Structures are given as structure tokens and as C-alpha cells.
Amino acid sequence: MEFDELKSAWRALETKIDAEQALNAKVFTELKLERARSALRPIWWLLLTQLAIAVGAVVLLGAFLADYWQVPRFAVPAILLDITAVMLIVSTVGQLRVLSTIDYGQAVVTIQSMLTELAVRRAREVRWQWLLMLPLWIPLAIVVMQGIFGFDIYRVFGARWIAVNVVVGIALTPLVVWLARRFDHQDGIAKGVADDIAGRRLSDAMRRLDEIGAFRSEA
Amino acid sequence: MTDRSGQFLALLEAHQKIVFKVASVYCWDAAERDDLRQEITLQLWRAFPSYDPRRVFSTWMYRIALNVAISFARKAGLRRRTIAPLDDAAVDLPASASAREPDEQVGALYRCLEALDPLNRALLLMYLDERSYREIAEVLGISETNVATKISRLKQRLRSELAPAE
């Protein structure tokens, strides 16, 4: 097939499109438009939920710190969690701000570049969220158990147990990344999490960003 | 029906084919293509208040349709995780009354489109739809010179890929 034949192929496709259009003459009515929900909206709800959880965490941690700020063994883990929650708020607000400026009526390269930068940022953030879970679960357990049940983990398990768990959590992080990079044969949620941790989603978004950059360049 | 929605629906009806063309180029599956057309229409409606009537409607429509289609196709691809290799049967369009030959041509066209990244696919779509370089440049957000260069490279690339094997 020659390149010029693509034009006649396009005309053949247009005939098929005409047939399809005749079968679906009215895509939307006014009523349907007002009620329709976009398939591209979930990211908004995801980010707003994430923001609500992070703000809730900061409020609760603030209340916890007010009670225990003079007790370093409780205050330090709470401050660590608070810093993480504040970082999450900053990042989420930044992403929501970018999303709110996206106008699909702008040039394709501009919008795709904005969306892909957002995808890179999101993939990076989600990866860190997973990786921080391992070292942060102990501070979280200390604060939650003390704050909700009045259960002092230091007294029950001892400082050594806590220290060992923190060290093991940190040491396990590269192992989890290594395992995630090898986990590449199944579909579903587990595969999605493995992609996040291994950085496959991040590298895919970065590759797309490079692709857009190359397309934009005059060279 | 309000003035605004009436005006929108009239413009949509007049230029509806753009939505169908874009959806056909980015979605092979009939059900997904239907979803994509609805998504494009919805985003057109949402963006309509910011549409400047002094500008060409089809250019604005193309921008939105392509932006939505690229995002939609990427999400659909992620959902499927792997995109099955395209054969003629996978191109799920209504059959034309014409002979088999055009179907083979359409199949070959789809294989070309499949091999392209989403932006080059948009470029080829607009070129085949006989849009001017100026309009293509305005829709994509690159210079006219860049459009000309890219089309020439695309022709070269496709010519070598489409050349029958010796």
C-alpha cells in the first residue's frame, strides 16, 4: 500500500463513519447533557478524598499533640505523621490547582503536556505513599493505639521492639521495590500496586512526556 | 431549551462528524467508541461557555475532541493493560455496502494509525481530513512549519512501513 492509498482508505473509513453516524444521529439531548457524568472526573474525587483524609489527619494529630506535646515518645511519632500529612496536603492542593486550570479547548500539545506532567507528579507521589508505609506504620500504630485506646505500645512491647520494627521497615523498602519490579505477570489491583511501587507507572508517564517534548520540538 | 443549549446543539449537529471521526481513530471497540463520543460531547458542552464565537467552531471542536480522545484512549489502554494486536476483525465499525477491498484498505489504515503515538495520530487524522496546515497547527499548538516537517516525515515513515515486502 502506498501512502497516497491511505487517502482512499480514509474515504472508505468515512463511508463507514457516515453509516455509524446515521445509526447514532443524536449523540446527546439537552437533558442528557445536564445529567451526564464524565468518565474523566474520578481523579477529582480521588484527590478531594485524599485532601479530606489528610486534613482530617492533621486535625486529629493536632489534638493528639496538644495532649502529648510534653511526652516525646508520643510527640515525635505524631510530628512525623503530621509532616507527612502536611506534605500530602501541599501536593494534593497543587494537583487540584493544575486540574482546575485544564481547559480542553486549549491546544492539544499544551493540554497533553499539562496532563502528563500531572500524571508524572501523581505517579511519583503514589509511589512515595506506598514506600513510606513500611517505615511509618510503627509511628502510626503508636499514635493510633495511644490516641484511641490509651494503649501504650512502648510499655507493652518495649523500645527495642519498636526500634527493630522501624529498622526492619526501612530495610524492607528496597526489597519491596525489587519484588515489585519482578511482579509483572498478573492483572488487577495487585499488578497496579506493583506498578506504582516499581515505578513503572512513573516511567511510562515520563516516556509520554518525552514523546510530547519531541513532538513539540521543531527539529 | 435555553438559547445557549440551543446554539450548542445546533453547532454540534452541524459539526458532529468531527466527533465520530476522532472517536473512530482513537477507539477500535464499538462500545468504547460510543462512550468516547459521549465523553467528547459532554466536555464540549462543559467548555462551551468559554467558546469565543469569533473563532472557528470546528477548530475549537477538534481541540476538545482530540484532547478528550487521547486521555480517554490512554485510560482505556491502562484498563486493558495490554492492547491486543489489531486485526481486521478488531476494527468494529459497521460494515459498508461496498466490496471487501475497502475493508482491507480500512484495516491497513488502522494498522498505520495503531503504530503511531497519539499526537502523530492526531496529525495524520487532520491531514487525511484535508484540514489546512494552519488549522492543524492551531489545533495541535505547534508552528505551521513544524506541521509541514512532521507530515513530510510521517509520509516517509509510513511509505517505508507500507511498502510491500520483497
Summarised one tens digit per residue, pLDDT across range A74-112 is 999 999 999 999 999 999 999 999 888 888 889 999 999
- For B156, phi then psi, to 5°, come to -60, -45
Query: How high is the mean pLDDT of chain A?
Result: 86
Q: Residue B3: which of B48, B43, B41, B37 has the closest Cα? A: B48
Q: How many CB atoms lie within 10 A of CB A212?
A: 22
Task: State the DSSP string of A53-107.
Answer: HHHHHHHHHHHHHHHHTT-HHHHHHHHHHHHHHHHHHHHHHHHHHHHHH--TTS-
Q: Higher confidence at residue A195 or residue B133? A: B133
Per-residue model confidence (pLDDT) at position B100: 47
Nearest-angstrom CA–CA distance, A180 and A190: 10
Per-residue model confidence (pLDDT) at position B93: 58
Look at A28 and B41 and tell me if their CB atoms are within 8 Å: yes
Reported confidence tier of residue B56, pLDDT bands at 50, 70, 90? very high
Task: Identify the sign of the CA torsion A105, A107, A109, A111.
Answer: negative
- Does residue A1 belong to the interface with chain B, where contact is any CB pair within 8 Å? yes
Question: Which residues 105-144 on chain A approach chain B with CB closer than 8 angstroms?
Answer: 105-112, 115
The CATH number corresponding to B1-83 among 3.10.450.50, 1.10.1740.10, 3.30.360.10, 3.40.50.970 equals: 1.10.1740.10
Q: Higher confidence at residue A23 or residue B140? A: B140
pLDDT surpassing 80 at residue A39: no
Nearest-angstrom CA–CA distance, A3 and A128: 47
Task: Identify the sign of the CA torsion B49, B55, B59, B63.
Answer: negative
Nearest-angstrom CA–CA distance, A88 and A129: 9
* Sequence letter at residue A157: F
Helices B118-128 and A108-144, packing angle to 10 deg: 150
Q: How far is B141 from chain A (nearest CA, A)?
A: 5
pTM: 0.80
Look at A108 and B51 and tell me if their CB atoms are within 8 Å: no
User: pLDDT of A6-23, one tens digit each?
Assistant: 888 888 888 888 888 877
Per-residue model confidence (pLDDT) at position A87: 94
Look at B34 and A40 and tell me if their CB atoms are within 8 Å: no
Q: Residue B76: which of B13, B133, B34, B113 has the closest Cα? A: B34
Nearest-angstrom CA–CA distance, A114 and A111: 5
Domain spans in chain B, listed from the N-terminal domain onward: 1-83
Q: How many CB atoms lie within 10 A of CB B134?
A: 11
How much of chain A, in percent, has pLDDT values that exceed 70?
Answer: 88
H/E run at residue B102: helix B100-114
Q: Which residues contact A206 (CB under 8 A, 6 or more apart)?
A: A120
